[in-house]
């Protein structure tokens, strides 16, 4: 069984025809995960639980009982999605012992479809970061070069695919946390439109920006997952009641209209020359396919990162207020007054302060404080409310661009994967890794990253496609034109193990 060759769609065919059992399939992946533990991809992988799910599907298939559309396929899950009874820890010491009493809606849907939940993957703590270095479990390594970061915050979910430790995985994207690691690991990563997929049970970072989406090797595999996780959920009032198209069925039909926009501001300073030439090459592929290529402008692009850090931090300071050591999560043993400022505080407040100080890492503290500041009396208008207005300007830029083109094409990340430790001392340098992805979250539109090349040094380069809200079908079909014409998505890292 060659796990580095087959796709999820092919595995499904083989499972349905009885050529392979789910137990054999997950057994192969478990063995591989064992051999490649040094990548630090999984934070929790219970072999017995995985095998039990697979055997139960196999037993149903054997007697001809109806099984779901993903029956027997392993799916790795970012440690941010609640799975009932399974440690779901958000890469944080704060939630080290947390076992959710319920399933996230996307997890319930995967279970109903017969998928085998294949472990929880490493991530930046509470999804805050671009390198998976902000994890209390230590960083995940990029399989293409183990001295480099895999991107983040869904680094483990991206590596699970890149290193063939699972054929499918789920991540979450608040400012690029699916697309940027997909790009840096050479896999497909899709952030759906805000509201396309339920956020119920997705541990909240910034609620107006967070969205769940799939990682896979191919667009067909990503479309398969999206199909089964998308749609209205009465438990998430922001999930939108619109029909879910059959993404897989239309994938191979090239779009009737192929007007592609190149964003002037995404070719600026800081763009690695090898990434720029991969983009030029992609443009040639589209020209050959008969596309109309047009330069467009998103004039407020440069305000994306600062607007994001105000909005996301403000939302996180509110969302993470729940981790106070009372109902669940870490509680400090010793919360006696330690510094003069604490002496007059009631014990309950000291307990909260000490628990949060011990439970959260530096990046989470930084964002909570930035958000608390941006929302505090006297500053809210200047920072938070102003950033929301800039957010409108950013959305208007996209609305204008999409009057002229169907899809925007550009680089996902300005550079290939950087070295472990390279940007940890400078939060601002880290924030700028998301410069091309972040505005899609502010505008609510879908974004997709697909493998678009390799550097001379053998590091993956990702291409990003952006489309109007709910145009996932256009996004996938347009990207498919490139995927069909190239073989970048079939490349694999050389992994000793």
Q: Which stretch binds another protein (CB under 8 A): 61-69, 73-81, 349-357, 474-482?
A: 349-357
Vertex 393 angle, CA 392 and 398, to 5°: 95
Of 310 and 463, CB closest to another protein: 310
Q: Distance between CA atoms of 493 and 496, rounded to whole angstroms?
A: 10
* Near another protein by CB under 8 A: residue from 392, 399, 421, 457: 392
* 153 is a catalytic site residue: yes
Active-site entry in 7, 130, 136, 153: 153
Shortest Å distance, C-beta 301 to another protein: 13
* Near another protein by CB under 8 A: residue from 395, 484, 491, 492: 395
| H-only helix segments in 155-299 | 155-162, 179-185, 219-229, 247-250, 273-288
Of 14 and 318, CB closest to another protein: 318
Site for another protein in 437-466 (CB under 8 A): 441-445
Of 247 and 309, CB closest to another protein: 309
Contact flags string 87-116 toward another protein, x per CB under 8 A: ----------xxx-xx--------------
Shortest Å distance, C-beta 125 to another protein: 14
Active-site entry in 7, 78, 154, 301: 78
Contacts of 320 (CB under 8 A, 6+ apart): 126, 360, 364, 368
* Near another protein by CB under 8 A: residue from 366, 484, 491, 492: 366
Q: Are 211 and 199 within 8 A, CB to CB?
A: yes
Shortest Å distance, C-beta 280 to another protein: 30
Q: Distance between CA atoms of 273 and 276, rounded to whole angstroms?
A: 5
Q: What are phi and psi of 133, to 5 degrees?
A: -85, -20
Of 69 and 373, CB closest to another protein: 373
Return the closest-CA partner of residue 177 out of 312, 87, 297.
Answer: 312
Q: Which stretch binds another protein (CB under 8 A): 22-30, 37-45, 386-394, 414-422?
A: 386-394
Site for another protein in 186-215 (CB under 8 A): 193-195, 208-209
First-to-final CA distance of the chain: 16
Site for another protein in 289-348 (CB under 8 A): 300, 302-303, 306-307, 309-310, 317, 321, 324-331, 335, 338-339, 341-342, 346-348
CA-CA-CA-CA dihedral for 316, 321, 322, 327, to nearest 10: 150
Shortest Å distance, C-beta 250 to another protein: 22
Q: What are phi and psi of 254, to 5 degrees?
A: -60, 145
* Near another protein by CB under 8 A: residue from 106, 113, 351, 405: 351
Contact flags string 234-273 toward another protein, x per CB under 8 A: x--xx-x---------------------------------
Shortest Å distance, C-beta 458 to another protein: 33
Inter-CA distances, 462 with 283, 357, 435, Å: 14, 37, 14
* 177 is a catalytic site residue: yes
Return the closest-CA partner of residue 437 out of 263, 291, 318, 287.
Answer: 263
Q: Are 104 and 83 within 8 A, CB to CB?
A: yes
* 78 is a catalytic site residue: yes
Task: Find the helix or strand (DSSP H, E) in which 480 lies.
Answer: helix 472-485
The residues annotated with a catalytic role in the active site are: 78, 153, 177
């Amino acid at each position: 069984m060659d796990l580095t060759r087959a796709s999820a769609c092919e595995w499904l065919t083989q499972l349905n025809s009885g050529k392979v059992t789910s137990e054999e399939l997950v057994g192969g992946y478990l063995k591989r995960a064992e051999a490649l533990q040094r990548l630090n991809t999984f934070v929790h992988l219970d072999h017995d639980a995985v095998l039990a799910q697979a055997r139960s599907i196999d037993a149903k298939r054997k007697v001809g009982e109806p099984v779901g559309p993903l029956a027997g396929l392993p799916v790795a899950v970012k440690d941010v999605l609640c799975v009932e009874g399974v440690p779901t820890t958000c890469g944080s010491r704060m939630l080290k012992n947390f076992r959710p009493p319920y399933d996230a809606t996307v997890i319930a849907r995967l279970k109903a479809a017969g998928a085998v939940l294949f472990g929880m993957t490493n991530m930046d703590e509470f999804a805050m970061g671009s390198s998976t270095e902000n994890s209390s479990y230590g960083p995940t390594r990029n399989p293409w070069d183990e001295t480099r970061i895999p991107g983040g915050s869904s680094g483990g979910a991206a590596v699970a695919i890149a290193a063939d430790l699972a054929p499918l995985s789920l991540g979450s994207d608040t400012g690029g946390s699916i697309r940027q690691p997909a790009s840096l690991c050479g896999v497909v990563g899709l952030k759906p439109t805000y509201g396309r997929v339920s956020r119920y049970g997705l541990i909240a970072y910034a609620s107006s920006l967070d969205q769940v989406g799939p990682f896979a090797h191919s667009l067909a595999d990503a479309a398969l997952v999206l199909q089964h996780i998308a749609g209205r959920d009465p438990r998430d009032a922001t999930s939108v009641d619109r029909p879910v198209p059959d993404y897989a069925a239309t994938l191979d039909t090239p779009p009737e209209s192929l007007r592609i926009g190149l964003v002037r501001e995404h070719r600026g300073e800081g763009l690695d020359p090898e990434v720029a030439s991969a983009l030029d090459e992609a443009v040639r592929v589209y020209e050959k396919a008969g596309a109309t290529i047009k330069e467009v402008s998103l004039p407020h692009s440069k305000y994306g990162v600062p607007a994001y850090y105000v909005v996301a931090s403000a939302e996180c300071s509110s969302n993470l207020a729940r981790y106070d050591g009372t109902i669940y999560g870490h509680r400090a043993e010793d919360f006696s007054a330690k510094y003069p400022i604490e002496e007059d505080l009631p014990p309950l407040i000291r307990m909260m302060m000490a628990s949060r100080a011990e439970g959260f890492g530096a990046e989470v503290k930084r964002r909570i404080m930035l958000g608390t500041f941006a929302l505090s009396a006297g500053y809210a208008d200047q920072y938070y409310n102003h950033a929301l207005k800039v957010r409108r300007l950013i959305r208007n830029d996209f609305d204008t661009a999409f009057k002229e083109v169907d899809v925007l094409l550009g680089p996902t990340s300005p550079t290939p994967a950087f070295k472990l430790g390279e940007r940890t001392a400078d939060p601002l340098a880290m924030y700028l890794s998301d410069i091309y992805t972040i505005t899609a979250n502010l505008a609510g539109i879908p974004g997709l990253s697909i493998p678009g090349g390799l550097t001379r040094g053998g590091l993956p380069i990702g291409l990003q496609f952006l489309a109007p809200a709910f145009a996932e079908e256009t996004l996938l079909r347009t990207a498919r034109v490139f995927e069909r014409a190239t073989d970048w998505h079939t490349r694999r890292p050389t992994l000793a193990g």
